[in-house]
Chain A
């Protein structure tokens, strides 16, 4: 606290006499009659907002989807200029009908902005470098950056993580790093746009604790949120409605009792994340009349202890759902149900009176590699019509289990039967994948809704997208059209049929994606985190769908982190370290008590009961299957900084990169065994100086080596010169042939080993630093070298993200029967399209978020930028250069001797 006050005052002093002085009462943000439209005035996302924010305030901005709160946040954060009105930031008018770029730039330097998706705010693969990116852009002198980075990491309780890789962290940790990246720029105000929307419970608590601390230390905070519980922590709550400020009131005390009218009291927990300010409509407001209502009457198993009832009554957690939901659940007779046309999405119900197993897994085990078993001896039976929730920490095997059921993965052992189809059998040692025919049948039985299923949308219209799955299953013509229409109507999205799926809101997109799977009429529906990052209304719609499917007799398996969601299931299966522990959903203490909207967020490290703590470690709701995701990482060893690095590791990356490339290209000049020997000695020396384990290096390039050996071995048969050694039939094997094979394979091997040594001793950041430095002379020619280097660095950082997403989309589409490996060329091309379009859509989504994040970090390119890490040539580089020259002299002298 003290330290912070001290530093704030020092900082103000540093601002110099020119900047307006801010005592705590002067406004730092003043908006007057601000309007903002995304569609040239046809509608107004922000419509005549006037607002004053004073230094030190902690403001929560809440409101429904499309209420304009995100847009307002961007205007406040100086990331977007409005269409009209006046915007004054820190006492200077930045917009008054036109944008004043210089003042905007200056204002932006004093504002930190944090966004919803933590992953898209990371710019590089080392925490220190990532946090330093903002200060570098601000032109903070090199010597001061380290101190800023350390302070910022300490403020978010991430000290010790400086050398860790943020792309491998939990969402909560990533978001804290993102906040640190802003704090390192010493902002006077922090604007956060739903920073917790993508996080799990523990991640949310982490962020709220950080915000509490920062506010206590005097930072002005504008927190856009859809969580009433989070809004309670603010001392002023602004409710946005239809682009206007509907209410603006102070919270008097920490319990949220406001003076006069408390906006929170009327704030229904409907405050969806909207990233784009797109106009949300339709689904949210559409009625919840169930098309399956008639069915529900007959088919619902009348178990008195139904978890539904407990859930619905426990909370009023979805008060907006009102009575239709509760009525349906409690089995009361309804009169209003008749007006909805009945269409069923799933196949007719079987006799639910005598449950029969529809899924059986016996002694199933699975491992991506030998050392890391993901599932161990899993036995699981699911009855037809059951709704089963699968829970457990990340890495526990949840996603793998569902992928096995879809035959997207073959177990290493055990038997799996799904609706009579042998999905996996292990008669001997190896487990056999299902036959093509069985696989095809399985696609008709099992529907697989991947995480964020809206990411698999690809077609030009909703109807076309929904038709993809049933079309792959052989439906066509009128039958296909009817199926699509029925499915859309049943989900109340019939009116969207001709729209582009990409123009819909997030909640609508998810419904369309789910419709695309339900259109195949699966008897078993698997959903992986079906409500993650959805707003409360959209999530309620999904939960309602679960009830309808259950009433229909569809077997539903949901993977979830959310206790409330799990409580909707008949049964919860918990996976822990790849093993199953069954538990009864209702026997636990009611999880809802922790989720009621008024409950304050839990401070980090507070007491949690046991049940919760076993889930709370699950940090990440990203798109990779959770088994490949790491848990929140531990701070790396202190000693892993480069103090004890090897000779090669400490070379200047520019020198190392250039000389390695020279060595690699010249290696192709090796033509004789003697030259090969010389080169091998040189590469061996470099390998020794790198102190890498030679076996590990060879292992990393083993695929190349195998290829080279095979390729070169062919030479043995084609070279006819030299002395024949043996005859294989009519083909003479000569000594020349053997030497040729050895030289060709050997020089290629040396090339890849050199490349591997470079990559294993140099971080991607250092490589891109070197790349930028080497490009710099081109700047004279007008080439944007700094920008190109940044593009390179960002690209490398996004490779794992895009790889994971691409894999997920391939799986999801193949679960809808789209495969590029079989079918006619036309079908394959279509399958390829269904993969490529969503992959591009994902890339563009990341790009949009990333662009904003770069703005928030004040990336302005140019000469003012400073560098956190300096490249310095040392004596080592001289030694290495001399070594390389000597080697090349010898290499080229050998043939002359």
Chain B
């Protein structure tokens, strides 16, 4: 599966096809906009993010109100497979359905997803190897961790009657370990599933 568009040509999946003359493109969709294939893939990845963002798994017994959802994995994979712009679109649109139930939390979730997936895909774009993937995930996780904790400092007082100082007191015992665990799961799973998925994309 390839995306016949200039900005996605850096990814391995499409470069195979793009380099040969056998893309079988009719040329209809090459006029500086997104190809239908690209739209379709983004749409399905966004849908997948939406679906997974509604999953809530309690992974941290010390703070049962903090739930793990696997949507970050989809954002990471979108970025690895289709580049930073895909990561950004999937991260922003994928959380939109939550906006009308949890407005501030949605903004924060989008921020965390962007901080995780966009830098990771930027690193991986320059450095296409397993090491590059690991480095990308680590960088993304550090940035996302910062955004998550910063976001909690701002958002938690809006939802609960707490001062920023009270939230800050929760960073070390609760927020930090929870988010570390969360990004560790994101990273490990992405690392494990990316190869088979990349094979699918190359097909």
Q: Which residues of A pack against B, CB within 8 Å? A: 36-37, 40-41, 78-83, 94, 99-101, 104-105, 108, 458-460, 500, 502-503, 660-661, 664-665, 668, 701, 704, 711-712, 714-715, 718-719, 740-741, 744, 748, 751-752, 754-756, 758-759, 784, 787-788, 790-792, 794-799, 801-803, 806, 829, 832-833, 836-837, 839-841, 843-844, 846-848, 850-852, 854-855, 859-862
Contacts and interface: CB of A to CB of B under 8 A. Distances in A.
A100 to B, nearest CB: 7
A859 B35 CA distance: 9
Given A81-B25, A104-B27, A704 B101 contact: yes
Q: Dominant SS at the A interface?
A: helix
B165 interface: no
Contacts of A862: 31, 33
A661 B51 contact: no
A755 B104 CA distance: 13
Interface stretch (B92-100, B113-121, B134-142): B92-100
Contact of A861 (B33, B93, B99): B33
B6 interface: no
A787 B39 contact: yes
B129 interface: no
B174 interface: no
Nearest to B23: A81
Given A500-B199, A668-B104, A837-B196, A99 B26 contact: yes
A851 B37 contact: yes
B22 A78 contact: no
19 contacts: A82-B24, A101-B27, A104-B27, A502-B203, A712-B160, A748-B159, A754-B100, A755-B100, A758-B100, A790-B43, A791-B42, A792-B46, A792-B96, A795-B93, A799-B47, A836-B193, A847-B1, A851-B37, A855-B28
Nearest to B100: A755
Contacts of B70: 832, 836
A460 B196 contact: yes
A754 B103 CA distance: 11
Interface residues of B, number: 58
Given A104-B26, A840-B193, A661 B50 contact: no
Nearest to B30: A101
Contacts of B20: 40
A850 B40 contact: yes
Interface in B111-167: 158-161
A301 B84 CA distance: 63
B77 interface: yes
Closest 9 CB pairs of A and B: A101-B27, A755-B100, A794-B43, A795-B46, A854-B36, A851-B40, A851-B37, A850-B40, A798-B47
Contacts of A105: 26, 28
A551 to B, nearest CB: 36
Contacts of B103: 661, 664-665, 751
A851 B197 contact: no
B89 A791 contact: yes
B193 A851 contact: no
Given A668-B104, A854-B39, A843 B47 contact: yes
A844 B193 contact: no
B48 interface: yes
Given A791-B89, A844-B201, A851-B39, A100 B161 contact: no
B43 A844 contact: no
A767 to B, nearest CB: 9
B172 interface: no
B193 to A, nearest CB: 5
Contacts of A744: 159-161
Contact of B192 (A792, A829, A854): A829
A860 B29 CA distance: 7
A846 B199 CA distance: 17
Given A837-B196, A847-B41, A860 B28 contact: yes
Contacts of B203: 502-503
Contacts of B33: 784, 787, 860-862
B158 A848 contact: no
A794 B40 contact: yes
Contacts of A36: 24
A550 B45 CA distance: 43
Interface of B: 1, 20, 22, 24-31, 33-37, 39-48, 50-51, 65, 70, 73, 77, 89, 93-94, 96-97, 99-104, 158-161, 188-189, 192-193, 195-197, 199-201, 203
Contacts of A860: 28-29, 31, 33
B201 to A, nearest CB: 7
A784 B93 CA distance: 14
A40 B22 CA distance: 6
Nearest to B57: A820
A37 B22 CA distance: 8
Nearest to A278: B203
A795 B43 contact: yes
Q: Which of A41, A801, A802 is the most central at the interface, judged by chain B CB atoms within 10 Å of its CB?
A: A802
Interface-centre pick from B97, B188, B201 (highest chain A CB count, 10 A) = B97
A620 B39 CA distance: 27
B193 A794 contact: no
Nearest to A503: B203
A847 B200 contact: no
Contact of B24 (A80, A758, A791, A792): A80
Given A711-B160, A803-B51, A850 B200 contact: no
Given A711-B160, A833-B192, A836-B189, A798 B28 contact: no
Nearest to B103: A664
* Interface core residue of A503, A712, A788 (most chain B CB under 10 Å): A788
B196 A795 contact: no
B29 A855 contact: yes
Given A758-B100, A847-B37, A860-B29, A799 B44 contact: no
A502 B200 contact: yes
A837 B73 CA distance: 11
A590 to B, nearest CB: 43
Contacts of A791: 39, 42-43, 46, 89, 93
B101 A752 contact: yes
A139 B3 CA distance: 25
A12 B139 CA distance: 61
Contacts of B29: 855, 860
B34 A108 contact: no
B180 to A, nearest CB: 15
A794 B46 CA distance: 9
A802 B48 CA distance: 7
Contacts of A502: 196, 199-200, 203
Contacts of B27: 81, 99-101, 104
Given A715-B160, A784-B33, A794-B43, A844 B189 contact: no
Contact of A788 (B28, B30, B89): B89
B71 to A, nearest CB: 12
B39 A837 contact: no
Nearest to B73: A836
Contacts of A852: 36
B36 A798 contact: no
Given A500-B199, A833-B193, A794 B47 contact: yes
Contacts of B44: 794-795, 798, 802, 843-844, 846-847, 850
B42 A840 contact: no
A561 B34 CA distance: 41
A832 B189 contact: yes
A503 B202 CA distance: 10
Contacts of A859: 36, 39
B61 to A, nearest CB: 15
B202 to A, nearest CB: 10
Nearest to A502: B200
A852 B195 CA distance: 26
Given A799-B51, A802-B51, A794 B158 contact: no
A759 B159 CA distance: 22
A704 B201 CA distance: 39
A718 B161 contact: yes
Contacts of B200: 502, 840-841, 844
